[in-house]
Amino acid sequence: MSVFDNAAFRHHNSVHFFSDEETGLQAIIAIHSTVLGPALGGCRLVSYANSDEALQDVLRLSRGMSFKNSLAGLELGGGKSVIIPPKSWGGDPGFQGEGRAALFRAFGRAVQSLGGRYITAEDMNVSVEDAQNMALETDHVVGLDVSQGGMGDPSPLTAEGVFLGMRACVRRAFNTDNMEGLSVAVQGLGKVGWRVCESLHAAGAQLIVADIMPETTARAARLFNAKIVDTDSIVTHEADVFAPCARGSVINDETVNALHVKVVAGSANNQLSRGELGKTLMERGIIYAPDYVINAGGVINIAPEAKGQVNHEWVNNKIKSLEDTVGEIIDTSLREKRPTNEVADEIATRRILDARDAGKAWQPAFLKKPALRQSA
Ligand code: NAD
């Protein structure tokens, strides 16, 4: 199928393929929209079965970034990039040997060649150190360490946004702000999930936890008096709230009718295996906080860097506003009997289209139209 006929390509601004023989770099950068500002979205390094699969992933993700950045009220468009691990690495994205730094420098040059239309950052299997290697070659990388003038680890901010967004859901589902005694099933106790548990425990919630790392769940049992369940049954475990903080597609055709909660609110990306399941959740009376809204703390944290700034106060205020944003989406959903994910997509799209229609679309200086030549 031609890329232009691919449904995921629709509305994309541009897609760029890069290769570098010397380092083995094979990368795709997709720019979905630059209406609200330069397209910001991370770079992931994944062993795809083939380049079609890599293309599909980057197109889907870059569109998602347009929605996420728009809904978070950022002056940023949406884009994303993927790197296919070189054959010399045995296809292993975690390869740490010689050549890794050079590959990320080559990727940095690719980003630089787009003149600031795309801003990259870390994502799956791409570390702060990899981003620092990109930064040797491009001005357009964010998510750098504090020591390098960056905003630092976004996970605590993401966790705070999830906690506040969850509170907005709880207020609507149980008519209270008080988390005391509320049972919350948390899947994944990583950088975000662990901090969400900390906040919930401090607020008096009862935790039910699952992680593939038994030492992590044992620690949660010790420190938070959490009940441990296995990684599959956590999804359908009876509780007031389910917080997916590990991986995507946990709400799918098999699990959607087996959920035993009133609220789904967590940090994982792409929680619904397909968008239509938002309607099933609504019909079951389950309040779902759309993933890209509630987990926007990470991108909010790096947004000042895209303007060459470090501004923790602005970030903290913006994270606090997530509670109202999630609440307004739920209120609209309840009032208009439309799934929360549909309401969120509509708000995000409208902001982009309004800016475009008002002639306020962002343009990098180098793309501005030249003045009309005077005819002789
Ligand atoms: P992480 O890698 O630090 O943590 C993931 C945790 O999930 C780990 O403890 C891992 O052992 C566990 N896990 C993996 N598979 C599991 C399974 N099947 N069942 C239960 N536990 C499992 O990642 P993170 O940074 O905490 O991010 C968690 C999720 O939130 C991811 O989906 C990520 O894309 C998303 N997210 C994170 C951020 C951020 O700022 N870190 C921002 C936005 C979205």
Residues 262, 331: one domain? Answer: yes
Q: Distance, CA 206 to ligand 1 centroid (Å)?
A: 21
Residue span of the structural domain in which 328 resides: 155-347
Residues 81, 217: one domain? Answer: no
Structure tokens at 370: 């030249």
294-324 pLDDT, tens digit per residue, is 999 999 999 999 999 999 999 999 999 999 9
Q: Distance, CA 370 to ligand 1 centroid (Å)?
A: 47
Distance separating alpha carbons of residues 190 and 197, to the nearest angstrom: 10
36-77 pLDDT, tens digit per residue, is 999 999 999 999 999 999 999 999 999 999 999 999 999 999
Average pLDDT (234-248) is 96
pLDDT at 362 over 70: yes
Q: Distance, CA 243 to ligand 1 centroid (Å)?
A: 11
**pLDDT band (50, 70, 90) for residue 373:** low
Kindly state whether residue 207 falls inside one of the protein's structural domains.
Answer: yes
**pLDDT for residue 67:** 96
**pLDDT band (50, 70, 90) for residue 284:** very high
Last residue of a domain, one of 141, 165, 191: 141
Instruction: Evaluate: CB of 298 within 6 angstroms of ligand 1.
Output: yes
Residue 75's nearest CA partner among 305, 319, 278, 329 is: 305
Residues 175, 309: one domain? Answer: yes
Lookup result for tokens 């992933």: 57
Average pLDDT (255-272) is 97
CATH number of residue 285's parent domain: 3.40.50.720
Question: Atom 39 of ligand 1 has which residue's CA nearest to it?
Answer: 155
115-158 pLDDT, tens digit per residue, is 999 999 999 899 999 999 999 999 999 999 999 889 988 999 99
Average pLDDT (107-113) is 98
Out of 68, 80, 262, 318, the active site residue is: 80
**pLDDT for residue 327:** 98
Residues 110, 219: one domain? Answer: no
Question: Atom 29 of ligand 1 has which residue's CA nearest to it?
Answer: 268
Mean pLDDT score of the chain: 95
- Ligand 1: nearest atom to the Cα of 247: 32
Residues 6+ apart with CB under 8 A from 1: none
CATH number of residue 11's parent domain: 3.40.50.10860
Residues 6+ apart with CB under 8 A from 263: 166, 169, 170, 173, 240, 241, 242, 286, 287, 288, 289
Last residue of a domain, one of 141, 169, 189: 141
pTM: 0.92
**pLDDT for residue 126:** 94
Residues 212, 245: one domain? Answer: yes
Question: Atom 41 of ligand 1 has which residue's CA nearest to it?
Answer: 155
Instruction: Evaluate: CB of 301 within 6 angstroms of ligand 1.
Output: no
Domain total in the chain: 2
Last residue of a domain, one of 100, 115, 141: 141
Dihedral angle, C-alpha 236, 242, 247, 248, nearest 10 ° = 80
* Residue 368 falls in the annotated catalytic set: no
Kindly state whether residue 360 falls inside one of the protein's structural domains.
Answer: no
Instruction: Evaluate: CB of 138 within 6 angstroms of ligand 1.
Output: no
Instruction: Evaluate: CB of 268 within 6 angstroms of ligand 1.
Output: yes
Question: Atom 8 of ligand 1 has which residue's CA nearest to it?
Answer: 190
